[in-house]
Amino acid sequence: MELPPQVKNPVPIAIRGAGYYLPDRVLTNADLEKMVETSDEWITERTGIKERRVADPAMSTSDMAICAAKRALANANMQPGEIDMIICATITPDMQFPSTACLIQKGIDARGAFAFDVSAACTGFIYALANAYTFIASDYVKNVLVIGAEKMSSITDYTDRNTCVLFGDGAGAVVLSRTDNPGHGIVDFILESDGRNALWLQVPAGGSRIPASTSSIGERMHYISMEGREVFKFAVTAMKRTTVRIAERNNLKAEDITWLIPHQANKRIIDAAAAALGLDASHIHFNIQKYGNMSAASTAVGLAEVILEKKPKAGDHLLLVAFGAGMTWGSLLIRW
Ligand code: ACO
């Protein structure tokens, strides 16, 4: 199989600040036991999830993203007017259009920026970071706000036990700029997709193929539909492949990875990716037990948590890996 492309002549582009937001409301496995035929034991054993956050009905994806973005700007000690570009990775936009990124631009009053969304499901935050990198590397922009934000509860069918136990809501954000420190910041990324199995994970209705109608609503077609077992098998292979490849081509061994920040779909998938690299569990950042699968927000919140709470030191390696609907998958390596 062909090797994924690699950035030529990398330039140092680093994270200047990070922030995240999680709704207050907690939905536990015990709560779900009252809603569908499931058990805390089944959910914990098969997924690693104990609880997830759920936004209030009035709160949208952009509302959560704006909170995370404001926190990232404050952490970077920057003003919204300094931001040139805003990218929001989401599959739960506030509405079909305008983009959620433009609503965030309004919410933080970043008048000098241009803004757009990236749709790559759970891999979206990695795709968005790679976009930010290439725009800054080409000198088209200086400072970029990248957000991963999802209100997964808005597309989750709480009568379907196959999916409703998995998902949660949240948002994470970072600000990226050039640095004077060669060899630091984003040092490599791999982006891949395979549309042949695009329909394994989908929200069938509400788009141009099946516009919203009383029958589409009656058939619950505005919720996530998922071929869980197929996705699981694919995810294990894709996550192992991208994790090992990015480490190998940067001459990194397991002991060189300070924090693996994986997409949090299923603890068993994360364990398989880490085992392929020989990485000890103490170097994996887990938040699946608290937040479930927040799609593009999982790696965004994970990265912000590692930066703010684990406080990486110069030279530490942070490795983001994810897979998602599309099917998409990828990885991104940061040298702190
Ligand atoms: N509680 C109790 N039993 C359940 C539940 C539940 N919540 N959900 C499914 N079951 C049952 C099934 O009906 C099945 O019963 P059956 O054998 O009588 O048919 C049994 O449990 C086993 O089902 P499996 O599908 O084999 O269970 P598996 O071990 O594969 O776990 C899971 C299911 C957790 C969904 C797993 O397949 C998985 O993690 N898949 C990947 C999901 C994923 O990563 N999705 C990404 C979405 S992100 C995005 O891009 C939007």
Q: What's 23's domain CATH number?
A: 3.40.47.10
Residue 40 belongs to a domain: yes
Exposure class string for 107-116: b at 16+ Cβ within 10 A, else e:
bbebeebebe
88 is catalytic: no
**What distance in Å separates the CA atoms of residue 243 and residue 322, rounded to the nearest whole number?**
9
Residue 235 belongs to a domain: yes
Last residue of a domain, one of 149, 178, 207: 178
**What distance in Å separates the CA atoms of residue 304 and residue 296, rounded to the nearest whole number?**
13
* 295 and 197 both lie in a single domain: yes
* 158 and 228 both lie in a single domain: no
State the distance from the centre of ligand 1 to the C-alpha of 229, rounded, in angstroms. 7
* 214 and 169 both lie in a single domain: no
Residues in contact with ligand 1 (CB, 6 Å cut-off): 38, 42-43, 46-47, 121-122, 161-162, 165, 201, 226, 228-229, 231-232, 235, 265-266, 293, 295, 324-325
**What distance in Å separates the CA atoms of residue 195 and residue 68, rounded to the nearest whole number?**
31
Domain count, the chain: 2
Residue 6 belongs to a domain: no
Last residue of a domain, one of 178, 210, 228: 178
Residue 155 belongs to a domain: yes
- SS3 label, residue 189: strand
State the distance from the centre of ligand 1 to the C-alpha of 293, rounded, in angstroms. 13
250 is catalytic: no
* 116 and 200 both lie in a single domain: no
* 43 and 166 both lie in a single domain: yes
The alpha carbon of 64 is separated from its chain's Cα centroid by a whole number of angstroms, namely: 14
Number of Cβ atoms within 10 Å of the Cβ of 59: 18
Under 8 Å CB-to-CB from 18, ≥6 apart: which residues? 71, 72, 75, 172, 173, 174, 175, 303, 304, 307, 308
* 142 and 228 both lie in a single domain: no
Q: What is the DSSP letter of 2?
A: P
Residue 68 belongs to a domain: yes
Pairing relationship of beta strands 85-89 and 114-118 according to DSSP bridges: parallel
Q: Tens-digit pLDDT profile for the chain (336 aa)? A: 567 888 777 889 999 999 999 999 999 999 999 999 999 999 999 999 999 999 999 999 999 999 999 999 999 999 999 999 999 999 999 999 999 999 999 999 999 999 999 999 999 999 999 999 999 999 999 999 999 999 999 999 999 999 999 999 999 999 999 998 888 999 999 999 999 999 999 999 999 999 999 999 999 999 999 999 999 999 999 999 999 999 999 999 999 999 999 999 999 999 999 999 999 999 999 999 999 999 999 999 999 999 999 999 999 999 999 999 999 999 999 999
- Beta-strand runs (E) in the chain: 13-21, 26-28, 51-53, 85-89, 114-118, 144-151, 169-178, 185-193, 201-202, 225-226, 259-262, 317-324, 328-335
Look at ligand 1, atom 32, and give the residue with the nearest C-alpha. 228
Last residue of a domain, one of 178, 206, 240: 178
Residue 192 belongs to a domain: yes
* 25 and 120 both lie in a single domain: yes
* 173 and 240 both lie in a single domain: no
Check: CB of residue 319 under 8 Å from CB of residue 333.
yes
Beta-bridge partner residues of 58: none
Look at ligand 1, atom 3, and give the residue with the nearest C-alpha. 38
Residue range(s) defining the domain that contains residue 312: 185-335
* 202 and 164 both lie in a single domain: no
* 240 and 266 both lie in a single domain: yes
State the distance from the centre of ligand 1 to the C-alpha of 100, rounded, in angstroms. 30
Look at ligand 1, atom 10, and give the residue with the nearest C-alpha. 162
What distances in angstroms separate CA 6 from CA 130, 241, 246, one per listed residue?
11, 15, 10
Residue 280 belongs to a domain: yes
Residue 48 belongs to a domain: yes
* 219 and 324 both lie in a single domain: yes
* 155 and 18 both lie in a single domain: yes
Look at ligand 1, atom 20, and give the residue with the nearest C-alpha. 162
